[in-house]
């Protein structure tokens, strides 16, 4: 279809519409349609006020319950279609069929919208529902008025096409590609969610392997969906070499970090150096890994914050994984006593306190050693094991408080510096004498 044919098509359509509008039967049909619309709108308001959508057909099967809710939710469309069909039948029996053509078109459009609402009720995404509904109804409208084939020819004609290398793009090709991609991605999402649920229920796979398999399945299904959609509309994949080269240039110029984080995420999932649930320390950030995404990992701190750390940082920087091979964690408590205390008694008391801690591992006895005779007193190091690094600071605090109570009971003093300032012969000079008292 060339440009002159497009102009001729538009002129013919305008003449047909002009002839239809000048007929008195047009205004009769138009008035009946407006009356049906008003009655339908008022009836829907009354139905919605009397019907509880939440409990509607609660005990019915899923298919019937969905049908009932769609019919009630689209009550105005149902009533409008019924009224227009009744008016159409009445006019068919009283006059020529051509004089009720507008009523037939309105009834078909209302029924088409009702069917579309019923079909799209299985889709959860509101944006996709609206896009599919409007697009399908527009196609149905063109088909009802007999203009679908001319419109398709117009959208696929040379005046509106663009040729890029060996690739010919027209509005019709893009519309078909968009529709196929929506359907393919919807099916891909259903399949990947099913696979994810099956993988997550498997007890033979570690969390990191589960995440890796889920991501690989999603990427594989997404790639297949795109390839199938492109092939279905007749786009040769070899014609996309130009766009592939442009994407490569874009990656080289400004997407290095994104690609590096993506590849790093795959490496982390494959080597299992970190996995969801691990307690890690990365720089100044500590917490448990709550999620591993394509670009980053989420580390949940104990105070409600979540650190989003790029995957590349975990590959290139030092990472402390407290639960890499074993969750057992060594807790170290450093303390000092004065020189009046018996160091052997101090070590014995410290070991007893650590062994009595609720979270201390019983098959790994605590140990206390004298590390230094310092200027301010004797320094000791108490070590013991706990089964999980979560709340390690709380455990250390409990042991230190218990040590304080035991030292008070045994008259063991913790050294601290005492400073005395003596002033001789006036305000100046000032001599500072530092004494250490236990």
3-state helix/strand/coil string of 305-352: CEEEEEHHHHHHCCCEECCCCCCCEEEEEEEEECCCCCHHHHHHHHHH
Find out whether the peptide bond into 96 is cis, omega within 30 degrees of 0.
Answer: no
Q: Is 434 a member of any domain? A: no
Of 201, 222, 254, the residue at which a domain comes to its end is 254
Longest dimension (CA), the chain: 130
Total length of the chain: 438
**pLDDT tens over the chain, length 438 residues:** 455 655 665 556 555 555 555 667 777 888 888 888 888 888 877 777 776 655 655 666 666 666 777 777 778 888 888 888 888 888 888 777 767 778 888 888 888 888 888 887 777 777 777 877 888 888 888 887 777 777 777 777 767 677 766 667 777 888 888 888 888 887 888 888 888 888 888 777 767 677 777 878 888 888 888 888 877 777 766 655 555 666 666 656 566 777 777 778 777 776 677 878 788 888 877 888 888 877 788 888 877 788 888 888 888 888 888 777 777 888 899 999 999 899 999 999 999 999 998 888 888 889 999 999 988 889 999 999 888 887 788 899 999 999 999 999 999 988 877 666 777 765 555 454 444 444
Q: Is 126 a member of any domain? A: yes
Residue 335: per-residue pLDDT: 93
Q: Is 435 a member of any domain? A: no
Q: Is 363 a member of any domain? A: yes
Q: Is 429 a member of any domain? A: no
Residue 7: per-residue pLDDT: 60
φ, ψ of residue 117 to 5 degrees: the values are: -60, -40
Number of domains observed in the structure of the chain: 4
Statement to judge: residues 9 and 137 lie in one domain? yes
- 377: alpha, beta or left? (left if phi > 0; alpha if psi -120 to 50): left
Q: Torsion over CA of 224, 230, 233 and 236, rounded to 10 degrees?
A: -120
Residue 438: per-residue pLDDT: 45
CA distance linking residue 274 with residue 252, whole number of Å: 29
Nearest in space to 395 (alpha carbons), one of 346, 356, 364: 356
Statement to judge: residues 89 and 183 lie in one domain? no
CA distance linking residue 339 with residue 412, whole number of Å: 10
Statement to judge: residues 19 and 147 lie in one domain? yes
Statement to judge: residues 155 and 9 lie in one domain? yes
Query: Position of tokens 């074993």?
Result: 326
Of 121, 141, 160, the residue at which a domain comes to its end is 160
Q: Is 404 a member of any domain? A: yes
Residue 437: per-residue pLDDT: 45
Dihedral sign (CA 20, 21, 27, 29): positive
Residue 343: per-residue pLDDT: 92
Query: Position of tokens 């029996």?
Result: 93
Q: Is 223 a member of any domain? A: yes
Statement to judge: residues 241 and 284 lie in one domain? no
Residue 382 DSSP SS3? strand
Full domain range(s) for residue 314 = 271-321
Statement to judge: residues 196 and 295 lie in one domain? no
Of 321, 338, 358, the residue at which a domain comes to its end is 321
What does the block give as tokens for 347?
Answer: 């070590």
Statement to judge: residues 59 and 42 lie in one domain? yes
Its pTM surpasses 0.75: no
- 287: alpha, beta or left? (left if phi > 0; alpha if psi -120 to 50): left
Residue 356 DSSP SS3? coil
Statement to judge: residues 360 and 290 lie in one domain? no
Looking up residue 338, the CATH number of its domain turns out to be: 3.30.70.100
Residue 195: per-residue pLDDT: 85
Contact (CB, 8 A) for 132 and 175: no
Alpha helices of 158-240 — where are they, by DSSP H? 171-200, 207-232
Q: Is 265 a member of any domain? A: no
Statement to judge: residues 245 and 288 lie in one domain? no
What does the block give as tokens for 300?
Answer: 């949940």
Contact (CB, 8 A) for 295 and 309: no
Statement to judge: residues 155 and 103 lie in one domain? yes
């Amino acid at each position: 279809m060339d440009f002159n044919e497009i102009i001729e098509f538009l002129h013919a359509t305008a003449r047909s519409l002009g002839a239809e509008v000048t007929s008195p039967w047009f205004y009769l049909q138009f008035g009946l349609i407006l009356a049906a619309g008003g009655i339908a709108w008022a009836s829907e308001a009354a139905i919605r006020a009397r019907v509880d959508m939440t409990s509607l057909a609660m005990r019915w099967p899923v298919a019937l319950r969905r049908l009932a809710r769609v019919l009630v939710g689209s009550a105005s469309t149902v009533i409008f279609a019924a009224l227009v069909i009744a008016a159409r039948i009445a006019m068919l029996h009283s006059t020529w069929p051509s004089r009720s053509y507008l009523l037939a078109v309105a009834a078909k459009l209302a029924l088409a919208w009702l069917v579309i609402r019923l079909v799209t009720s299985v889709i959860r995404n509101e944006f996709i529902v609206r896009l599919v509904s409007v697009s399908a109804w527009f196609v149905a409208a063109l088909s009802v008025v007999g203009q679908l084939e001319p419109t398709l020819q117009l959208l696929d004609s040379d005046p509106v096409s663009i040729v890029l290398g060996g690739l010919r793009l027209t509005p019709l090709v893009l519309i078909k590609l968009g529709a196929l991609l929506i359907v393919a991605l919807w099916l891909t999402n259903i399949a990947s969610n099913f696979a994810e649920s099956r993988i997550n229920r498997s007890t033979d796979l570690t969390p990191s392997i589960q995440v890796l398999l889920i991501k690989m399945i999603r990427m594989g299904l997404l790639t297949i969906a795109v390839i199938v959609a492109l092939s279905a509309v007749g786009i040769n994949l070899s014609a996309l070499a130009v766009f592939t080269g442009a994407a490569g240039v874009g990656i080289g110029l400004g997407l290095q970090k994104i690609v590096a984080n993506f590849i790093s995420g795959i490496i982390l999932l494959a080597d299992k150096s970190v996995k969801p649930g691990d307690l890690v320390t990365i720089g100044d950030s500590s917490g448990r890994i709550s999620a591993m995404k394509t670009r980053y990992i989420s580390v949940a701190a104990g105070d409600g914050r979540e650190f989003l750390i790029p995957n590349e940082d975990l590959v290139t920087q030092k990472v402390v994984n407290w639960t890499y091979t074993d969750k057992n964690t060594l807790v170290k408590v450093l303390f000092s006593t004065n020189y009046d205390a018996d160091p052997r008694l101090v070590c014995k008391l410290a070991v007893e306190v650590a062994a009595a801690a609720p979270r201390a591992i019983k098959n790994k006895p605590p140990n206390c050693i004298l590390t230094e005779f310092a200027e301010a007193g004797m320094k000791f190091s108490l070590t013991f094991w706990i089964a999980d690094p979560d709340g390690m600071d709380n455990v250390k605090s409990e042991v230190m408080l218990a040590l304080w109570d035991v030292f008070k009971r045994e008259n063991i003093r913790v050294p601290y510096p005492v400073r005395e300032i003596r002033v001789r012969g006036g305000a100046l000079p000032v001599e500072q004498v530092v004494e250490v008292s236990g």
